[in-house]
């Protein structure tokens, strides 16, 4: 049963009775106009804008429309009643004169004037608390991890103490709608999108600042794996991808899917990248050491630091991969001489890592790509040595 009630009664008829005004204000009728149409806008994650239409019978003169919401989480300051235009062949013209709030009650009364008797279609809108939503995804990659199918779901949680026999839900994403009933304390889940054959890139990254060390004593870095999806092309790119938990699987080649893990993807606008964490790569080893750290006086108390970082890298996979090496210049400076509180002035040297990714690098972040061959037939991995040389100027 719906917890909101809409009652009407003609004020003119009440004036003929001898009842006092405060008694007239709360007269109840047994017949309630049912909802003809309900729209629920889920633009906010925790509250919803509800618009419902009802057919209200009016008599000529001034009518009172009573709306109550006992135990329902309606924000009374947001309640609005609008009289919708009547059909062209109906002479009824009505307008809202005023609104009043009976003391100590979760209710209000609209005074509505009508030029003739008849049925009026009204739209009542309000903000409803306790009607929350969240998105989640299911991603299934193919065997070679070049494409995946991405399904998008919306979950609506009804803790508003209100029920809707049928409602049209606006998801808040890309103009998508769906029609569903929603009962008291019910959770409703629907699939709202399906994106097939989405190109995906699998990355392997070493970043001591962001991902840390697998074994600090031996200078071995963590190498996390990620799927990277660009929100563009095909069905993607028409709307942002809201943040949400993603369950990630891969085609196992036997007619099923192997579970890889779960990650919470961030809000991803069109043309931006969604990055999903898959875990640590145990078959790629990266050892990072400071191979050189020399200080030279420039003038007064200003110094130049020549720094060389060395990376010893091994790929034990049966296939070649690309490793992304990411460094923070500030973190390197702090590591070799401490934090001075100043932005570092730096220059890239002649190490083997000298070609920056222009899209992933900036004034502090440096990213390089290193191609690693597959391991040999005997299972041995060829150790690859890479160096990063930096000059830090005008340090105290």
What's the whole-number mean pLDDT along residues 382-394? 96
DSSP letter string over 234-274?
TTTTSS-B--EEEEEEEE-SSSSEEEEEEEEEPPB-TTSEE
Strands in 384-395's sheet, in edge-to-edge order, are 213-215, 220-221, 284-299, 302-315, 384-395, 345-348
Cα-based torsion angle of the residue sequence 294, 300, 301, 307 in order, rounded to the nearest 10 degrees: -20
- Predicted confidence band at 18 (pLDDT cuts at 50, 70, 90)? very low
- Integer-rounded Cα radius of gyration of the chain: 33
Residue 89: what pLDDT?
79
8 Å CB contact between 11 and 60: no
CB atoms within 10 A of CB 102: 14
Residue with tokens 């002649």: 350
In 127-166, where does DSSP find H-type helix?
A: none
In a domain, 42, yes or no: yes
pLDDT tens column, 220-230: 999 999 999 99
Measure Cα distances from 300 to 21, 98, 152, 311, 337 in Å. 91, 79, 61, 34, 18
Does residue 27 have a pLDDT over 70? no
- Domain limit, last residue, from 111, 128, 145: 128
Does residue 304 fall inside a structural domain?
yes
Token digits of residue 88: 């062209």
The helix (run of H) or strand (run of E) holding residue 54 is strand 47-58
Mean pLDDT lowest among 17-21, 130-134, 313-317, 332-336? 17-21
* Listed residues 128, 145, 175: the one ending a domain: 128
Contacts of 210 (CB under 8 A, 6+ apart): 326
Answer whether 63's CB lies under 8 Å from 13's CB.
no
Q: What are phi and psi of 175, to 5 degrees?
A: 70, 25
Query: Does the residue 164 lie in any domain?
Result: no
Q: How far apart are CA 90 and CA 88, in angstroms?
A: 6
Total structural domains within the chain: 2
Q: How far apart are CA 382 and CA 363, in angstroms?
A: 33
Lateral strand order in the sheet of 131-141: 187-199, 147-158, 131-141, 244-251, 257-265
By C-alpha distance, which of 84, 27, 97, 76 is closest to 52? 84
Contact (CB, 8 A) for 56 and 5: no
Kindly tell me if the per-residue pLDDT of 174 is higher than 70. yes
| Closest by CA position to 94, among listed 114, 110, 124, 75 | 114
Examine residue 178 and state whether it is found in any structural domain, yes or no. Answer: no
Q: List b or e across 328-363, with b for residues whose CB sees 16 or more CB atoms inside 10 angstroms.
A: bbbbbbebbbeeeeeebebeeeebebeeeeeeeeee
- 264-304 pLDDT tens trace: 999 999 999 999 999 999 999 999 999 999 999 998 889 99
Q: Is 248 within a domain?
A: no
66-100 pLDDT, tens digit per residue, is 998 888 999 999 999 999 998 887 788 999 999 99
Residue linked to tokens 């931006």? 272
Mean pLDDT confidence for 165-191: 94
Domain boundary at 128, 143, 158, which?
128
CA distance 124 to 98: 15
Give the CA diameter of the chain: 104
Q: Is the pLDDT of residue 1 over 60?
A: no
> What's the pLDDT band for 34 if we cut at 50, 70, 90?
confident
Domain assignment of residue 251, yes or no: no
Q: Kindly provide the b/e burial profile for residues 112-133, where b requires at least 16 CB atoms within 10 angstroms of the residue's own CB.
A: bbbeeebebbbbbbbbbebbbb
Given a contact cutoff of 8 angstroms between Cβ atoms, the answer to whether 3 and 106 are in contact is: no
CB-based burial of residue 364 (10 Å sphere; 0-12 exposed, 13-18 middle, 19+ buried)?
A: middle
- The percent of residues in the chain predicted with pLDDT above 90, rounded, is 81
Q: Which two tokens stand for residue 160?
A: 């508003």
Express as a percent the part of the chain with pLDDT over 70: 92
Is residue 156 situated within a structural domain?
no
CA-nearest of 39, 61, 53, 51 to 85 is: 53
Residue 353 lies in a domain: yes
Higher model confidence: residue 203 or residue 87? 203
Task: Quote the domain boundaries for residue 382.
Answer: 284-395
> Does residue 6 surpass a pLDDT of 90?
no
Q: Give yes or no for residue 305 having a pLDDT over 50.
A: yes
């Amino acid at each position: 049963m719906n917890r909101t009630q809409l009652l009407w009664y003609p004020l003119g008829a009440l004036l003929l009775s001898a009842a006092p005004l405060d008694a007239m204000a709360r007269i109840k009728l047994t017949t309630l106009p049912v909802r003809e149409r309900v729209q629920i806008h889920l633009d906010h994650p925790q509250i919803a804008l509800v618009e419902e239409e009802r057919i209200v019978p009016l008599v000529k003169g001034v009518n009172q429309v009573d709306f109550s919401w006992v135990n329902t989480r309606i924000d009374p300051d947001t309640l609005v009643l609008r009289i919708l235009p009547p059909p062209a062949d109906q002479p009824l013209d009505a307008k809202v004169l005023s609104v009043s709030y009976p003391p100590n009650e979760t209710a209000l009364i609209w005074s509505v004037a009508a030029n003739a008797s008849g049925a009026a279609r009204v739209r009542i809108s309000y903000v409803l608390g306790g009607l929350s939503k969240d998105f989640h995804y299911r991603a299934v990659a193919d065997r070679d991890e070049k494409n995946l199918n991405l399904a998008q779901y919306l979950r609506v949680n009804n803790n508003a103490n209100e029920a809707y026999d049928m409602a049209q839900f606006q998801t808040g994403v890309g103009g998508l709608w769906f029609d569903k009933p929603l009962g008291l304390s019910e959770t409703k889940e629907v699939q709202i999108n399906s994106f097939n054959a989405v190109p995906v890139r699998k990355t392997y990254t070493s970043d001591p600042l962001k991902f840390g060390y697998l074994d600090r004593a031996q200078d071995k870095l963590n190498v996390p794996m990620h799927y990277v999806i660009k929100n563009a092309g095909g069905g993607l790119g028409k709307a942002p991808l809201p943040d949400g938990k993603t369950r990630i699987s891969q085609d196992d080649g036997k007619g099923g899917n192997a579970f890889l893990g779960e990650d919470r993807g961030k809000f991803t606008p069109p043309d931006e990248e969604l990055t999903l964490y898959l875990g640590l790569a145990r078959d790629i080893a990266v050892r990072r050491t400071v191979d050189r750290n020399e200080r030279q006086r420039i003038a007064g108390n200003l110094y130049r630091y020549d720094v060389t970082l060395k990376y010893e890298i091994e790929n034990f996979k049966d296939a070649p991969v690309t490793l992304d090496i990411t460094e923070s210049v500030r973190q390197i400076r702090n590591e070799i001489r401490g934090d001075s509180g100043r932005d570092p002035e730096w220059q890239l040297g002649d190490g083997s890592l000298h070609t920056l990714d222009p899209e992933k690098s900036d004034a502090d972040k440096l990213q390089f790509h290193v191609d690693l061959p597959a391991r040999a037939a005997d299972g041995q991995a060829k150790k690859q040595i890479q160096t990063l040389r930096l000059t830090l100027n005008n340090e105290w």
